[in-house]
Amino acid sequence: MSAKDYGAESIKVLEGLEGVRKRPAMYIGSTGKDGLHHLVYEAVDNSVDEALAGYCKNITITIKKDGSCSVEDDGRGIPVEPHPILKIPAVEVALTRLHAGGKFDKKSYMISGGLHGVGISCVNALSKKLIVEIKRDGNIYSMEFSRGITQTKLKTIGKTKDKDETGTTVTFFPDEEIFSTLTFDYKILETRLREIAFLNAGLKINLVDEIKDKKEIFQYHGGLVEFVKWINGSKEIIHKPVYFKREDKESGTSIEVAVQYNSSYNENIFGFVNTINTVEGGTHVAGFKTALTRVINDYAKKKNILKPSKNGDSSLSGDDVREGLTVIISLKIPNPQFEGQTKTKLGNSEIKGQVDSMVTAALAEYFEENPAVAKKIADKAMEAARARLAAKKAKELVRRKSAFSLGGLPGKLADCSSKKNEDSELYIVEGESAGGSAKQARNKEIQAILPLKGKILNIEKANPTKALGSEEITNLITAIGTGVGESFDATKLRYNKIIIMTDADVDGEHIKTLLLTFFFRYMPQLIDNGNIYAAVPPLFKVRKNKDHYVHSEAELKKLVDKLGGNVVVNRFKGLGEMSLDQLWDTTMNPKTRKIKKVYVEDAVEADQTFSMLMGDDVQGRKDFIAENAKEANLDI
Ligand code: 0RA
């Protein structure tokens, strides 16, 4: 076929979907596990939009044995009549034109001005095969595509039982030419689908896994109120949830908020913009924080809970009013601008003021109407303020103490010589002896070593005063340089990579978890910015002609099979057992080592996991360990 056989329109189409196939990561983030699951969310989002428009009540997601995933809804069904200009069925337009989704019916369908991502055509472009089935006007229609290209024209394949039965089912087989993994993970889908159900009160989402023979229904009539209760599930709560919803007609911005304090010291702000989890925060979160601080201060002053101090400037700080806070902020706006490393930070500057004024009005009103709840919250913030003053004294003590050591840095730190921060690294090492080896093995120029005296304090169970009084913790904070909490300053970060190096055994895992808990609660920005890493020391050395290092039993089996016959296998008991060269090659040499970047896939889940693993929920912890034990490396 020569080029002139293509109409201008079909050339545009090919360019569109080919673009998606050429640069899939631009549309779905990655071509790994995350990108694969993104396909499902993209399909589900279309059905959720139909639910938001008031036409869909049930969505069913099925992981099938043949490697496909289907998303079924009982909405109006994608229109099938010919597109007035393109003269092909509207459904074909939706599936083959990039961003065509919103162009159908702006008024009724896209009430939210197109809340969601890149659309179903991307799913089509990245699927080896996709089948869409539509129930509409008493008929069942079907169409098939491959890699974005129409394979079977629209045909009627049957009649619905009931004349007004409507709906859409999209079944897709992700393309192995695109994705590095093709297996859908029940747990990943479960977490996100539960989140979607919480964010859309009443919507019923069914998840079915035909491979694992598992199913679950997510439906929450209480919406965000149930969400906040669920997050606080393993915590001691201090009042019933505060809930409000406001709309700014002029700008089209609407906000829904659920707040519930618990007795912990942690702050948990979960922001969603058009149901996308804004892990990196943004202007909506900033607006909320400003409003919260103002309303609680005003209330405490008005009710004489907060009394003017001698120097006249007593007020509750942002950290004070957020201690023990769990909040869900769900914002819907017409044109979100996402920024940041993972495109999960809301950038629209006008939103801060809008959210601030809506939250201020709604929260002040709620406090007036619910004085008992308001008092509990104000009292809790007062208590935090008192502890803050005590902690300040403790910090001053730390500062004075450290002023005596060299340059204010902890004495145990073997710093690197280069002050250029782009390639500098801090190794946090378990135990003095491994610390000693690391000091000898390192590249002095860019690698600093901080040995830890065994286990650090469990941050989850200690209040800030106690935490900041611990020597190991203050050493860590001083070495890193940024400070913590409200005074955190990313520009003061002294190393670009912070690498946790522990033994590959149970104790090592525990120390790693304690450190990650510390970073997650005190310096979450470092996790968000991708500064935190875990070293992955090898478990075995396999010798045949030369040394090979492997990191798991499975890898060992594979390698031994490959090398065949007489090999010598050594199991490493710990970092301390390695020679300096081995330590350098396997775990420290930037060119040959294996390290893992730590990131938070889902903030809600991470918070729950840390609270549960490190807090007081013994049964929850046992369940978690039983469920995850098969994934852990046990060497007892
Ligand atoms: C445009 C118009 C109409 C429905 C839809 C789109 C629609 C799209 C999807 C995608 C997945 N499920 C869906 N359900 C509906 C309705 C037009 C009308 O009937 O008036």
611 within ligand 1 shell (Cβ under 6 A):
no
Closest CA to ligand 1's atom 3: 78
Statement to judge: residues 128 and 33 lie in one domain:
yes
Residue 426 within a domain = yes
Closest CA to ligand 1's atom 5: 78
Closest CA to ligand 1's atom 16: 76
Statement to judge: residues 475 and 376 lie in one domain:
no
Using alpha carbons, select from 358, 347, 156 the residue that is nearest to residue 256: 358
Statement to judge: residues 599 and 506 lie in one domain:
yes
Residue 394 within a domain = no
Ligand 1 center to residue 77 CA distance, Å?
5
Domain end point (choices 168, 193, 219): 219
Cross-strand bridge partners of residue 281: none
Cross-strand bridge partners of residue 544: 546
Statement to judge: residues 137 and 171 lie in one domain:
yes
Ligand 1 center to residue 432 CA distance, Å?
64
134 within ligand 1 shell (Cβ under 6 A):
no
Query: Residue 136 is part of a domain; what is its CATH number?
Result: 3.30.565.10
Residue 400 within a domain = no
Domain end point (choices 161, 193, 219): 219
> Which atom of ligand 1 is nearest to 170's Cα?
11
Ligand 1 center to residue 71 CA distance, Å?
14
Statement to judge: residues 119 and 259 lie in one domain:
no
Ligand 1 center to residue 342 CA distance, Å?
30
Statement to judge: residues 469 and 544 lie in one domain:
no
> 3-class DSSP state for residue 600?
coil
CA–CA gap between residue 322 and residue 325 (Å, rounded)? 5
- Asked if 380 and 454 count as a contact pair (C-beta separation under 8 A), the reply is no
Ligand 1 center to residue 199 CA distance, Å?
21
Write out the residue range of the structural domain in which residue 248 sits.
224-388
CA–CA gap between residue 103 and residue 106 (Å, rounded)? 6
Query: Residue 472 is part of a domain; what is its CATH number?
Result: 3.40.50.670
Helix (H), strand (E), coil (C) string for 227-267: HHHHHHHHCCECCCCEEEEEEECCCCEEEEEEEEEECCCCC
Q: Using CA of residue 321, residue 327, residue 332, residue 335, what is the dihedral sign? A: positive
623 within ligand 1 shell (Cβ under 6 A):
no
What lies within 8 Å, CB to CB, of 189 at 6+ separation is 37, 40, 61, 63, 207
User: Which residues are known catalytic residues?
Assistant: 430, 503, 505, 507
Residue 95 within a domain = yes
Residue 307 within a domain = yes
195 within ligand 1 shell (Cβ under 6 A):
no
Q: What are 484-542's pLDDT values in tens digits?
A: 877 788 999 999 999 999 988 888 888 999 999 999 988 999 998 999 999 999 999 99
Of the residues 40, 50, 170, which should be mutated to test ligand 1's pocket, given the most ligand atoms within 8 Å of the CB? 50
79 within ligand 1 shell (Cβ under 6 A):
yes
> Which atom of ligand 1 is nearest to 73's Cα?
12
Statement to judge: residues 531 and 500 lie in one domain:
yes
Query: Residue 294 is part of a domain; what is its CATH number?
Result: 3.30.230.10
104 within ligand 1 shell (Cβ under 6 A):
yes
Query: Residue 413 CA to chain centroid, in angstroms?
Result: 32
Statement to judge: residues 62 and 205 lie in one domain:
yes
Using alpha carbons, select from 521, 586, 572, 588 the residue that is nearest to residue 264: 521
In this structure, how many other beta carbons lie within 10 angstroms of the beta carbon of residue 409? 17
553 within ligand 1 shell (Cβ under 6 A):
no
Closest CA to ligand 1's atom 8: 78
- Asked if 293 and 306 count as a contact pair (C-beta separation under 8 A), the reply is no
Statement to judge: residues 531 and 544 lie in one domain:
no
pLDDT at 635: 39
605 within ligand 1 shell (Cβ under 6 A):
no
Residue 177 within a domain = yes
pLDDT at 113: 32
Domain end point (choices 194, 219, 244): 219
CA–CA gap between residue 43 and residue 189 (Å, rounded)? 12
Dihedral, 261, 267, 271, 276 alpha carbons, nearest 10: -110
Residue 398 within a domain = no
Low-confidence ranges of the chain (pLDDT < 50): 1-6, 100-116, 403-406, 633-636
CA–CA gap between residue 39 and residue 34 (Å, rounded)? 9
Statement to judge: residues 274 and 213 lie in one domain:
no
Cross-strand bridge partners of residue 208: 62, 215
Reported in sequence order, the residue ranges of 275-416 that DSSP labels E, i.e. its strands, are 276-277, 325-332, 338-339, 345-346
46 within ligand 1 shell (Cβ under 6 A):
yes
Looking at the structure of the chain, the number of domains it has is: 4
Statement to judge: residues 167 and 274 lie in one domain:
no
Ligand 1 center to residue 372 CA distance, Å?
46
Statement to judge: residues 311 and 359 lie in one domain:
yes
75 within ligand 1 shell (Cβ under 6 A):
yes
Of the residues 60, 61, 105, which should be mutated to test ligand 1's pocket, given the most ligand atoms within 8 Å of the CB? 105
Residue 465 within a domain = yes
pLDDT at 342: 78
Cα–Cα separations (whole angstroms), residue 499 to 56, 159, 519: 48, 61, 12
